[in-house]
């Protein structure tokens, strides 16, 4: 029951459009969620100004003033949701090795054919046919090795329980912080 001004409940029940203005918010889809939390928290509280129009103007000014800061917190919170505290090490190494080898060689071969095999023993100048082969060879080879290794996981510097305790201490309720900042727009008499 209202004693000094009017309860927020009365304005809502009468269909008063409390949030028909723009203010910066990190995700437009979240606007309704935040507004409903504000309405629920202050539902039975009296507005702290004489008229609903004055109240709405101060609410608009306050949200436009504080929301840029809280939007940064919301954005940081979204990034934090993808962070895995138990995997604090992620190192990827890519290595490429190239090697070159070269080889050269020469060879000479002589084939002697004689219809009379004894002639080779005594007279090396006599043969039915002689074939002499000689050749040079060479080559170059290039090899390339590529590999990638990834090391991911916990580096062992802290115990997982210590990490969890640190995370619990860093959690913040951003919606609650905003709601508390709007407290001065309402009568603080219960």
Residue 76: per-residue pLDDT: 85
Domain boundaries, the chain: 8-85+162-185, 95-148
What is the helix (H) or strand (E) element at residue 2, kind and residue range? none
Can you give the pTM of this predicted structure?
Answer: 0.59
More confident residue, 143 or 130: 143
Q: Which of 11, 14, 86 is nearest to 53 (CA)?
A: 11
- Per-residue pLDDT band at 119 (split at 50, 70, 90): low
Question: DSSP letter string over 99-130?
Answer: EEEEEEEEEEEEEEE-SSTTHHHH-TT--SEE
Task: Return the structure tokens found at 158.
Answer: 């802290």
* Cβ contact 189:4 at 8 Å: yes
Beta-strand ranges (E) seen in the chain are 89-113, 129-153
């Amino acid at each position: 029951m209202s004693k000094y001004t009017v309860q927020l409940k009365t304005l809502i029940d009468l269909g008063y459009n409390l949030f028909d203005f723009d203010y910066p918010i990190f995700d437009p889809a979240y606007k309704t969620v935040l507004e409903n939390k504000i309405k629920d928290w202050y539902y039975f509280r009296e507005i702290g100004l004489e008229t609903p129009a004055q109240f709405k103007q101060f609410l608009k000014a306050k949200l436009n003033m504080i929301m840029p800061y809280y939007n940064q917190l919301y954005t940081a919170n979204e990034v934090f949701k993808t962070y895995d505290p138990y995997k604090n090490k992620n190192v990827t190494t890519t290595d490429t090795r190239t090697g070159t080898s070269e080889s050269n060689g020469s060879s000479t071969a002589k084939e002697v054919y004689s219809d009379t095999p004894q002639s080779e023993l005594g007279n090396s100048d006599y043969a039915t046919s002689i074939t002499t082969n000689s050749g040079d060879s060479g080559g170059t080879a290039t090899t390339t090795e590529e590999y990638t290794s990834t090391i991911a996981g916990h580096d062992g510097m802290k115990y997982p329980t210590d990490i969890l305790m640190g995370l619990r201490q860093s959690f913040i309720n951003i919606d609650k912080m905003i709601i508390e900042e709007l407290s001065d727009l309402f009568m603080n008499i219960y």
